């Protein structure tokens, strides 16, 4: 990864730093940016990127799964640190949906144990891939409007913006049961009635539309409205963690360039127009990092929803601002496909619409409440 | 202070000793000096009395060597004393500037005679001090200062002008930088002096700031004076350190390790002002009205304050565990000062026409504070290092970018 900015390690516990440091060499070796560039050109693969197997073998996929399901039983503080590191490398799916969203969703279930789900052990270990199908219209945040229905052990409906569904061994589908209550349906895939369409996307994520037509459901878990809200906001904070990492990398690229690119007889970072822009981006990123860390700290507190929305909103705006400013710093070369900086620009706009746009979170924050 | 457990035993002991002493001595002092804010003379006397009280306990110049009245305290311990004082809302320390700025140069460069003549006097508080650095043509580019110190029989004659001189109206001594060699490169022609403010030829003129206040007549507020020197004599004895090495001399500090807490007081005051802004009932009412056009901007300010408070706590933690880098407090100064201005602007706009009514108007909201705070806060991004200079510092020391080429050498 090379050059790293001061401040990337601020505010984390020793345990969090150890996780980051431990994950770093694996991603450095197995997650080159050329892979991400490749996914932007063609994201329609049936198999996961090689880094997924490495992560599974090294035990990273089981972090959030409960111990009784074969996982490590860790929490979002640990996963946040892991995702900051993952964000630094633009880690592609299915890690986020299989190792983060899925265990978060299962934890939101009102009753029933994740341990009872068939094949859960394989999902936790990374031998199998799970994909969470939440939305039918993701512009409705945080309370998705659900039409998909489970009846007599079969599920029908259309789910959209499902990550990595085409390579999933099981879909976890948010649906209604016969009484209209919310459930999570454990749906092995592929299976009769399932049709998956992978969309071409700006950042190479495999966003899928999944059509289900009387597909067999292996098991359902009831989920409460409150549980769902908690899932959405926790996911938002974890996306914000990815955003921190991505912003750090983008900014580091720009700063390194400003140190070395010579024009008018000196490195361009010697000009205040360049250096001041980078400083402002750096400072805003520092505030964003602190807001995410605060939200993580308040994960079990009444103040969490407020803190989560602030963290996500701030990082939405800051990741975008950092990547735009970074690209501008590169001048002409920043406009080329082969240069890496646009990968972060795409990521910033992608993650800025995942689990709440700034507008969505502003709506939640007004009347503006202040953390105690 | 919540983080006692982060401290090493000797630092914790130092802090607790300070707290115990203050808990015993401060309340009776405050009681005995009630009403001292009624006029400036009484206030100044109270500050002098407080220094005498603190000196009697050995709490003045704590980082100085013991032989000169200090405790050989570390930078962290000095910071802890500062926490203990501010937690108890102790009076402002009259000794802070001379102890921090004049003491170390004397300790490092002073002759034994100079040390004897000046150091105990600083501890005792014999004089009120001011700092003569900035000039009308030398602000951010301080090294370009032009006030001259020309050799004469027995010393030097000072001619020129200083500006933004806090405390000058009351001061009896000035820590002065003046040019002794106009031909040398700018950093190498400056000398440091202790100047008697009552010398013939010294004229102090308070500056009126944009709020309309003549702050020069106040103590320990944002306050500004000009000082004019017309053939002012300074004896040879009062030059500290070698001639033409004043720039190096005045940068002397005692602190071996970086405390990085120099912006902390500013940051703390800024946080307090921002929190007051958010707690203001009118601002809260604006918050709760979802139709209010200001709600978005309010939220942005609120979130910034939120993040800065978290960074501030992290910064404290880093200082207490000895891991501070200096970057944290620079970010707080830069963003804190910008946010204070934004908050003040927002408050004024929210009030609409009522914001225009200043202090003295019976219909002014909250005694016309919004307008005053708006005007006053313009200085936050200028004093203590402009935001532009802060950005240069962060660019160089945190981002590792080259020294700004906009700064001609």
The beta-carbon neighbor of B334 closest among A283, A288, A368 is: A283
What pLDDT was estimated at residue B48? 95
Q: Which residue range(s) make up the domain with A234? A: 226-365
Q: Considering A125, A154, A182, which residue would you say is the last residue of a domain?
A: A125
pLDDT along chain A (372 residues), means of 10: 78 96 98 93 90 98 95 97 98 97 93 87 97 89 92 97 97 96 97 96 94 97 93 98 98 97 92 96 97 97 96 97 95 92 95 92 71 34
Same domain, A328 and A272: yes
The yes-or-no verdict on residue B187 having pLDDT over 80 is yes
Check A282 against B394: CB less than 8 A apart.
yes
- Of A110, A125, A140, the position where a domain reaches its end is A125
Residue B291 has pLDDT above 50, yes or no: no
Q: Which residues from A are below 8 Å from B289, CB to CB? A: 367
With a pLDDT cut of 70, the percent of chain B lying above it is 88
For residue A6, being part of any structural domain is answered with: no
Contacts with B296 from chain A: Cβ below 8 Å: 362
Model confidence at B166: pLDDT above 50: yes
Contact B391/A275, CB-based, under 8 Å? yes
Q: CATH fold of B264-397, please?
A: Butyryl-CoA Dehydrogenase, subunit A; domain 3 (1.20.140)
What confidence tier does B408 reach under pLDDT thresholds 50, 70, 90? low
Q: Measured between CB atoms, which of A282, A362, A370 is closest to B399? A: A282
Here the CATH number for the domain that contains residue A200 is 2.40.110.10
The CATH code of domain B129-250 reads 2.40.110.10
Residues of chain A contacting residue B287, judged by C-beta atoms under 8 Å apart = 366-368
Q: What digits encode the pLDDT tens for the residues B189-228? A: 999 999 999 999 999 998 888 887 766 556 655 578 999 9
What number is the ipTM of this complex? 0.82
Q: If pLDDT is split at 50, 70 and 90, which confidence band does B265 have?
A: low
Classify residue A1: in a domain, yes or no. Answer: no
More confident residue, B294 or A215: A215
Note whether residue A327 is domain-resident: yes
On the question of pLDDT at B259 being above 50, the answer is no
Q: Is the dihedral of CA B343, B349, B351, B354 positive or negative?
A: positive
Nearest to B303 among A279, A286, A291 (CB): A291
pLDDT at B158: 98
What is the residue-averaged pLDDT of chain B? 87
Q: Specify whether A213 is located in the same domain as A245.
A: no
Predicted pLDDT at B369:
77
Q: What is the CATH number of the domain that holds A64?
A: 1.10.540.10
Based on the fold, state whether residues A263 and A218 are members of the same structural domain: no
A259 belongs to a structural domain:
yes
Could you state, in order of their start, the residue ranges of all structural domains in chain B? 4-94, 129-250, 264-397
Q: Is A3 contained in some domain?
A: no
What is the pLDDT, as a whole number, of residue B360? 76
Tens digits of per-residue pLDDT, B311-331? 888 888 887 877 777 677 788
Q: What is the mean pLDDT of residues B384-401?
A: 91
Establish if A76 belongs to a structural domain: yes
CB contact under 8 A, A370 and B288: no
Per residue in B41-62, pLDDT (tens digit) is 899 999 999 999 999 999 999 9
Structural domain includes residue A2: no
Pick B314's closest partner by Cβ from A10, A271, A366.
Answer: A10
Q: In the prediction, which pLDDT does B344 show?
A: 85
Q: Which residue of B has its CA nearest to A265?
A: B405
Interface probe, candidates B267, B277, B307, B398, chain A, greatest A C-beta count within 10 A: B307
Whether residue B361 is predicted with pLDDT greater than 90 in this model: the reply is no
What residue has token string 């001399």? B249
pLDDT at A371: 37
Assign residue A313 the CATH number of its domain: 1.20.140.10
Which of A267, A272, A286 lies at the smallest CB-CB distance from B331?
A286
Using alpha carbons only, what angle is made at residue A248 by residues A242 and A252, rounded to the nearest 5 degrees?
A: 150
Half-sphere exposure at residue A118, Cβ-oriented, CA atoms within 13 angstroms: 12
A303 & A361 share domain: yes
Whole-number pLDDT of residue A300: 94
Residue of B nearest to A371 (CA): B306
Band of the pLDDT at B113, cuts 50, 70, 90?
very high
Residues of B with Cβ-Cβ distance to A283 under 8 angstroms: 331, 334-335, 394
SS3 letters across chain B = CCCHHHCCHHHHHHHHHHHHHHHHHHHHHHHHCCCHHHCHHHHHHHHHHHHHHHHHCCCCCCCCCHHHCCCCCCHHHHHHHHHHHHHCCCCCCCCHHHHHHHHHHHHHHCCHHHHHHHHHHHHHCCCCEEEECCECCECCCHHHCCCEEEEECCEEEEEEEEECCCCCCCCCEEEEEEECCCCCCHHHCEEEEEEECCCCCEEEEECCCCCCCCHHHCCCCCCCEEEEEEEEEEEHHHEECCCCEHHHHHCCCCCCCCCCCCCHHHHHHHHHHHHHHHHCHHHHHHHHCCCCCCHHHHHHHHHHHHHHHHHHHHHHHHHHCCCCCCHHHHHHHHHHHHHHHHHHHHHHHHHHHHHHCCCCCCCCHHHHHHHHHHHHHHHHHCCCCCHHHHHHHHHHHCCCCCCCCCCCC
Say what the pLDDT of residue A1 is.
Answer: 40
CB-nearest partner of A272 from B288, B325, B404? B404
Predicted pLDDT of residue A151: 96
What pLDDT was estimated at residue A113? 81
Residue of A nearest to B331 (CA): A283
Q: Which residue has the higher pLDDT, B348 or A134?
A: A134
pLDDT at B180: 98
- The per-residue pLDDT for B241 is 97
A154 in the same domain as A103: no
Judgement on whether residues A258 and A316 belong to the same structural domain of the protein: yes
B128 vs A283: CA distance, rounded Å: 38
Q: What is the pLDDT of residue A369?
A: 43
Residues A29 and A107 in one domain: yes
* Cβ proximity of A158 and A197 under 8 Å: no
For residues A238 and A189, state if they share a domain: no
Enumerate the residues of chain A whose CB falls inside 8 A of the CB of residue B308. Answer: 287, 290
Please indicate, yes or no, whether residues A20 and A77 belong to a single structural domain of this protein: yes
- Supply the CATH classification number for the domain B4-94: 1.10.540
Residue A144 lies in a domain: yes
List of chain B residues whose C-beta atoms are within 8 Å of the C-beta of residue A295: none
Last residue of a domain, one of A125, A147, A170: A125
Rounded to a whole number of angstroms, the distance from the CA of A164 to the nearest CA of chain B is 34
Report the domain count for chain A. 3
């Amino acid at each position: 990864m090379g050059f790293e900015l001061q401040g990337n390690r601020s505010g984390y516990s020793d345990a969090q730093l150890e996780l980051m440091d431990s994950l770093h060499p694996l991603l450095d070796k197995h997650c080159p940016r050329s892979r991400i560039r490749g996914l932007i050109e063609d994201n329609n693969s049936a198999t996961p990127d090689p880094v997924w197997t490495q992560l599974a073998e090294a035990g990273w996929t089981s972090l959030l799964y409960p111990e009784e399901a074969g996982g490590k039983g860790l929490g979002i503080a640990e996963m946040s640190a892991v995702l900051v590191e993952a964000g630094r490398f633009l880690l592609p799916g299915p890690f986020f949906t299989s190792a983060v969203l899925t265990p978060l969703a299962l934890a939101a279930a009102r009753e029933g144990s994740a341990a009872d789900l068939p094949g859960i052990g394989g999902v936790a270990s990374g031998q199998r891939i799970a994909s969470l199908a939440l939305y039918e219209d993701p512009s409705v945040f945080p309370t998705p409007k659900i039409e998909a229905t489970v009846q007599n052990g079969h599920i029908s409906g259309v789910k959209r913006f499902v990550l990595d569904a085409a390579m999933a061994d099981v879909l976890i589908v948010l649906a209604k049961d016969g009484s209209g209550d919310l459930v999570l349906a454990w749906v092995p895939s592929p299976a009769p009635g399932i049709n998956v369409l992978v969309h071409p996307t700006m950042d190479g994520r495999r966003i899928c539309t999944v059509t289900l037509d009387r597909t067999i459901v292996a098991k359902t878990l009831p989920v409460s409205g409150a549980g769902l809200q908690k899932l959405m906001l926790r996911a938002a904070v974890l996306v914000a963690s990815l955003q921190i990492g991505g912003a750090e990398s983008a900014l580091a690229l720009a700063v390194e360039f400003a140190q070395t690119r010579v024009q008018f007889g000196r490195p361009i970072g010697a000009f205040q127009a360049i250096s001041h822009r980078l400083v402002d981006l750096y400072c805003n990123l520092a505030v964003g990092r602190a807001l995410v860390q605060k939200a993580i700290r308040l994960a079990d507190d009444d103040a969490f929803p407020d803190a989560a929305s602030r963290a996500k909103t701030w990082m939405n705006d800051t990741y975008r601002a950092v990547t735009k400013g970074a690209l501008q710093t590169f001048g002409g070369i920043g406009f080329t496909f082969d240069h890496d900086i646009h990968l972060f620009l795409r990521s910033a706009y992608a993650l800025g619409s995942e689990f709440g746009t700034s507008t969505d979170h502003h709506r939640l924050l007004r009347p503006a409440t202040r953390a105690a | 202070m919540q983080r006692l457990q982060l401290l090493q035993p000797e630092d914790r002991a130092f802090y607790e000793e300070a707290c115990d002493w203050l808990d015993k001595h401060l309340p009776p002092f405050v009681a005995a000096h009630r009403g001292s804010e009624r006029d400036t003379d009484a206030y100044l006397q109270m500050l002098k009395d407080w220094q005498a009280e603190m000196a009697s306990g050995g709490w003045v110049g704590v980082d100085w060597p013991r032989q000169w009245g200090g405790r050989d305290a570390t930078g962290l311990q000095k910071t802890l004393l500062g926490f203990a004082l501010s937690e108890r809302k102790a009076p402002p320390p009259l000794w802070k500037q001379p102890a921090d700025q004049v003491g170390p140069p004397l300790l490092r460069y002073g002759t034994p005679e100079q040390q004897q003549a000046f150091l105990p006097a600083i501890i005792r508080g014999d004089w009120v001090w001011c700092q003569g650095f900035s000039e009308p043509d030398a602000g951010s580019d301080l090294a370009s200062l032009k006030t001259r110190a020309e050799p004469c029989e027995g010393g030097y004659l000072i001619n020129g002008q200083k500006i933004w001189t806090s405390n000058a109206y009351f001061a009896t001594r000035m820590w002065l930088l003046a040019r002794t060699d106009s031909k040398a490169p700018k950093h190498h022609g400056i000398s440091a002096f202790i100047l008697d403010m009552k010398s013939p030829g010294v004229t102090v003129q308070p500056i009126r700031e944009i709020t309309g206040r003549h702050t020069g007549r106040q103590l320990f507020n944002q306050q500004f004076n000009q000082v004019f020197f017309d053939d002012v004599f300074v004896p040879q004895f009062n030059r500290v350190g070698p001639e033409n090495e004043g720039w190096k001399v005045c940068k002397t500090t005692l602190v071996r390790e970086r405390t990085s807490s120099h912006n902390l007081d500013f940051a703390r005051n800024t946080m307090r002002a921002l929190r007051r802004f958010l707690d203001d009932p009118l601002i809260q009412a604006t918050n709760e009205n979802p139709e209010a056009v200001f709600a978005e901007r309010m939220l942005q300010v609120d979130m910034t304050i939120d993040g800065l408070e978290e960074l501030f706590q992290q910064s404290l933690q880093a200082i207490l565990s000895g891991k501070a880098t200096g970057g944290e407090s620079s970010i707080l100064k830069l963003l804190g000062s910008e946010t204070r201005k934004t908050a003040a602007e927002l408050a004024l706009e929210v009030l609409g026409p009522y914001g225009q009514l200043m202090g003295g108007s019976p219909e002014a909201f909250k005694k016309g504070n919004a307008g005053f705070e708006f005007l006053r806060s313009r200085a936050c991004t200028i004093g203590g290092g402009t935001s532009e200079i802060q950005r240069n510092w962060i660019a160089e020391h945190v981002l590792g970018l080259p020294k700004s080429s906009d700064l001609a050498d």
